[in-house]
Amino acid sequence: MPPKRGKKAAAPAAPAAPPLDGCCVVFSGTFPGHSQSALLDQAARLGAATAKSVTKDATHLVTTQADFDKLSSKVKEALNRDIFLVSLEWLLDSEQSNAKADETQYTFRNVTPSPNPASAPSASQGTAAQKAKDSKKRQASPDADATSADQHDSKKKKGLEKEVIPNFGEGQIAKSRDIVIPLDEECHLVGYGVHVDPDGVIWDASLNQTNSGNNNNKFYRLQVLGSASGNCVTWSRWGRVGERGQMKALGNGSLDDAKRQFQAKFKDKSGLHWEDRTAPPKPKKYVFIERSYQSDDEEEDEGVKTEKDGEGPDCTLALPIQKLMQLIFNTQFFAAAMTELNYDSKKLPLGKLSKATIMKGFQSLKDLSEMINGSVPASASDIEDASNLFYSLIPHDFRRNRPPVIRSEDVLKREIELLENLADMKDASNIMKDESANGEVLHTLDKQYRGLGMQEMTPLDRRSTEFQELAAYLTSTRGHTHGVNYTVDSIFRIERLGENDRFGKSQYAGPVRDRRLLWHGSRATNFGGILSQGLRIAPPEAPVSGYMFGKGIYLADMSSKSANYCCSYISGGTALLLLCEAELGNPLNELTNSDYNAGENAKSKGMWSTWGKGMTAPLGWKDADCVHPSLAGVKMPDVSIQPGKTNVPGAFLQYNEFICYDVAQIRLRYLFQVRM
């Protein structure tokens, strides 16, 4: 659910070193249920530097037996460089235990001869073990061919709570000689392409500047372009965000002069030399925005073909699942959501938005929050400058209106919501672009469904007891203040791949303490990210003051409370709601008012969850095995008893909220597609 407001936060404690600190991880091959972009971000969240090729800083290549057997180019390079070659289980087990797993337990059978006898897997990995130990505290160098930018992750368990920020600016380095950099959308010079120098530096700069006081919201685009005949120019375009602007080609035709023109303009607008583009922005100057150029996955095999490649196959999905995919991956709904949140998707489309930029946006809001709540002394001018920086990093289209200064918690909350939505929509965008490497010909909807990596998605029979019990839970827990009406289109029994295993290996799998079947709502456009990556906790870069009971996963026992976060007006009147099994623990951290530090306070008392107690709630509970045998021991409201007043002394909330601080506490159980 979107963040809540509340009381002032105390300064957070310094985080412990993440489990893969000092490692540099590369991926090769196809991992069912996981895209490489998701895995790159998962590794980064565990503290590793990441790269899309085997560089001098790489310490681990995560691959598959099939990729190892065929000696792919990355495997060969890893063997030659004498680094670890490990299976995906090494990463997952390191995450589960919150400690780096022993690499020697995750190696491969050597069924093909090594390209270099001295680098055979057994010898290679023994040598690499010592190398990894020696470099445990070493970070990848700033100019390493590594990136954490275009990532999105499974973000299970504690990864999101680690103080790890993706490397900014490394998306500016081409990872392949075959990469094609798109020309500026208003450039119509025929036969020209963007220059990439021998070091892989892409000569393409997107700059932004917002100044609320002067009603400025400007962009400046620079590209060095070259033609097949050898003629080179610097293309420039500038204007107000959301408008076409003015444009001009500069230079005398030589590459050297085009670069000089580019560098001079970049220095004039940003105050920085081109080679220092990732340095902190200069006051009153344009801000450099990293764009994502790389494809989100770099599998080396031929990708899956969809029906657009020829005579298309029929869709193999059940009709309700087909309709669900059409809803989740509807690009018109993406555009509407971004417009509603004032994001300028023309300036920086989802496909070009890097995760590093989103993380810098979160950090900018965190800095603003500390100024607004007074934990950092700041003048009105300081707050306006910080607000301008955020708008410069994350382009907004205010038309000709003055950009509003972010000086209140309400406005801050809305911008946090924007970044969280962008992160989830970025995941969905990755799935739509993702190409699995098994050569199959797939219908687009099958391809999208496969990209979610679900273990199960079963449409329920409307006549079944399971459907009827769940529908009754939905309709009977509508708050009297919400005025919500539902028409249930479909209910799906779901299971995310690996979620049961994660729960089973966690501390929450012991004797049942207080497990409940609870609601979670979000925009339909976010469900590509939610289903593929799971429910996630806000990153450390996000301001804690944006969350009423601290950073966690917010759940409800009244369906309409969660439904209010679905924004069904953006998705044609259709909403998606989750029912989650959550182990809350016993006792719970019971509160009647907001507390930004609720998560830390709960943990210090040995509690797993916070219960924000409301004035209206279900008055009776029953065992959810009446829905499905697998839910035995899990509680759900007994809707034969109408929700009513709780008479909790001092209750501030209208309805209950339950907040879990570890994603491993939660398993997604049901997905509702409803019209509202």
Q: Scan for tokens 């409940």, then name that residue.
A: 516
User: What is the greatest pairwise CA distance in the chain?
Assistant: 81
For residues 600-624, give the mean pLDDT: 96
User: What percent of the chain lies above the pLDDT cut of 70?
Assistant: 83
Say how far apart CA 61 and CA 71 lie, in whole Å: 13
- pLDDT tens across 524-552, in order? 999 999 999 999 998 888 887 778 999 99
pLDDT of residue 124: 34
Q: Please give, one letter per residue, the 3-state secondary structure of 483-541.
A: CCCCEEEEEEEEEECCHHHHHHCCHHHCCCCCEEEEEEEECHHHHHHHHHHCCCCCCCC
More confident residue, 639 or 349: 639
Question: Is it the case that residue 192 has pLDDT exceeding 80?
Answer: yes
* Catalytic annotation, pick one of 370, 581, 600, 657: 657
- pLDDT tens across 56-107, in order? 889 999 998 878 877 887 888 888 888 999 999 999 999 888 899 999 888 8
More confident residue, 165 or 106: 106
Q: Which structural domains are found in the chain, ordered by start? A: 24-148 (3.40.50.10190), 192-289 (no CATH), 323-433 (1.20.142.10), 442-675 (3.90.228.10)
| 413, 546 Cβ separation under 8 angstroms | yes
Q: What are the tokens at 248?
A: 């001009």
Question: Is it the case that residue 157 has pLDDT exceeding 80?
Answer: no
Q: Pairing state of beta strands 666-675 and 60-62?
A: unpaired
- pLDDT tens across 4-47, in order? 444 444 444 445 788 998 999 999 888 876 777 778 888 888 98
Say how far apart CA 328 and CA 529 lie, in whole Å: 10
| 619, 644 Cβ separation under 8 angstroms | yes
User: Could you tell me which residues are beta bridge partners of residue 280?
Assistant: none
pLDDT band at 125 (very low <50, low <70, confident <90, very high): very low
pLDDT of residue 294: 54
pLDDT of residue 141: 32
Residue 433's CB is within 10 A of a number of other CB atoms, namely 15
| 602, 590 Cβ separation under 8 angstroms | no
657 counts as catalytic: yes
pLDDT band at 128 (very low <50, low <70, confident <90, very high): very low
Report the mean per-residue pLDDT for the chain: 83
More confident residue, 285 or 144: 285
Backbone angles phi, psi at 492, to 5 degrees: -115, 130
- pLDDT tens across 560-570, in order? 999 999 999 99
Backbone angles phi, psi at 458, to 5 degrees: -115, 115
pLDDT band at 151 (very low <50, low <70, confident <90, very high): very low
For residues 51-56, give the mean pLDDT: 83
Question: Is it the case that residue 171 has pLDDT exceeding 50?
Answer: yes
pLDDT band at 120 (very low <50, low <70, confident <90, very high): very low
pLDDT of residue 442: 85
More confident residue, 38 or 638: 638
Q: Please give, one letter per residue, the 3-state secondary structure of 342-377.
A: CECCCCCCHHHECHHHHHHHHHHHHHHHHHHCCCCC
For residues 439-462, give the mean pLDDT: 90
